[in-house]
Structure 1
């Protein structure tokens, strides 16, 4: 598994991945208005890291580095369970200069368990347009 910076040639695949992975991860949300272009808006102004396996992208993470905020982490449904998510998470964590943060929808129990297994801690709960979420922190100990 290789983690590398985003390249413009990744856009078509990552658009498709973002659409498919959200539908799989959030089946309780109404998705009929979701579009491929949502990816472009979701990562605007963010650093995007791409997980590549055997020469093809299988996932991505996007970060708002100025705030040590992990905004998105998605792995193609057919590539889940092969280490891409953990590799992306670790690469994102390495960019943090202080406590890292992310929001995870309360109903996204698989993702929540994944983050908690890897050292993230729930610090608060809130509500957003997509539903209730947990704010999670990752302590940086450098």
Structure 2
């Protein structure tokens, strides 16, 4: 199933379980290293997943009982903290399906921050109907605060 297109009916979106954690930690670490190659990636660790998603609601895209993507949401603020899809499965609507599933568990508006130099993610969020609300700076660099006020496109 290397780079073949997945059929959406093969993908299950479910709530994260403890048994998913080893896969999620690896996915998070690997995709952060790819996404933030301009940063000191030697500082990224497997345990970052647990720290950065603590208390968040996590949905996973599963194929054959293996997580291939996830979204984590801080529910009190309807804030999407993380959305990652394994690079081998990007461009197959998995991120869109994760967003749709997250919307069913939250209220509008949904917000998220995206690092300015992550052009692939920015393009994705704009295409899905998010709009820029403001800009700011964080330890990860300059970011754009996006907001979604109705269903994903």
Compute the TM-score of the two structures, normalised by the length of structure 1: 0.95
The answer to whether the aligner puts 1:124 opposite 2:131 as a matched pair is: no
Q: Deviations over 1:42-74 (max 9, x none)?
A: 110000000012332101110011101000000
Kindly state the Cα deviation for residue 95 of structure 1 after the two structures are TM-superposed: 2.2
Q: How does 1:5-20 map to 2 (within 5 A)?
A: 5-20=15-30
Kindly state the Cα deviation for residue 33 of structure 1 after the two structures are TM-superposed: 1.2
The answer to whether the aligner puts 1:75 opposite 2:70 as a matched pair is: no
The answer to whether the aligner puts 1:139 opposite 2:139 as a matched pair is: no
**Partners of 2:103 and 2:133 in 1: CA distance:** 17
**Partners of 1:93 and 1:118 in 2: CA distance:** 12
Contact 2:131 / 2:146 at 8 angstroms: preserved in 1?
yes
Kindly state the Cα deviation for residue 109 of structure 1 after the two structures are TM-superposed: 0.3
RMSD: 1.2
Contact 2:60 / 2:69 at 8 angstroms: preserved in 1?
yes
What number of residue pairs does the alignment pair up? 141
Q: Which runs of 4+ in 1 moved over 6 A?
A: none
Compute the TM-score of the two structures, normalised by the length of structure 2: 0.88
The answer to whether the aligner puts 1:98 opposite 2:108 as a matched pair is: yes
Structure 1: gaps (5+ residues): none
